[in-house]
Amino acid sequence: MTDTARRTHGYAATPIQKTALIVGIVFLLVGIAGFIPGLTHSAEHLHGAGADSEAHLLGVFQVSVLHNFVHLAFAIAGIALAARARSSRLYLIIGGLAYLVVWLYGLIAVGNESLNFIPVNDADNWLHLGLGIGMVLLGIFVSREPRVPGNGNRTARA
């Protein structure tokens, strides 16, 4: 990509930037939904942290205030890092690896109340595994080159 082309690309202009932005928006929606009664069943039992939080997003995924703030932090990061292709790729790959670590944590923490401070349940674990793998794969395989209008599926090359 030429210097001129680099300068003309704006916020979320490339496929990798758009991907990071979309992932960030999804995390934003999930983080907000975790506080909304109706979307979060037993929201009145939403605790700051810990396995005793009885709130479940969509009636399935155990959440707490801490858990929701983690989603919101990932949202802010994705939306902010969508400004550049390199940071978008790093967000997806490192964020995906972080979710794989959370999945491993969940394998140990579910059923152990003293360790389960986020909290997570089995449904969360499956979701974190899928998120981790999906984000890493997106970060690796989505192009950082902008699509050229009228050029089919080909991307711009310097």
Write phi, then psi, for 37 (nearest 5 degrees): -60, 140
Sign of CA dihedral 56, 133, 69, 80: negative
CA proximity to 28, closest of 102, 90, 82, 100: 82
Angle at 143 between CA 138 and CA 148, to 5 degrees: 140
How do the pLDDT tens digits run along the chain, 158 residues long? 444 444 456 898 999 999 999 999 999 999 999 999 999 999 899 999 988 899 999 999 999 999 999 999 999 999 999 999 999 999 999 999 999 999 999 999 998 989 999 899 999 999 999 999 999 999 999 987 766 666 555 555 43
CA–CA dist 112, 103 (Å, integer): 15
pLDDT at 145: 76
Instruction: Scan for tokens 């579910």, then name that residue.
Output: 110
pLDDT 10s digits, 71-111: 999 999 999 999 999 999 999 999 999 999 999 999 999 98
3 state DSSP class of 76: helix
CA–CA dist 46, 42 (Å, integer): 7
Q: Report yes or no: 147 and 32 within 8 Å, Cβ to Cβ.
A: no
pTM value is: 0.84
Q: Report yes or no: 118 and 66 within 8 Å, Cβ to Cβ.
A: yes
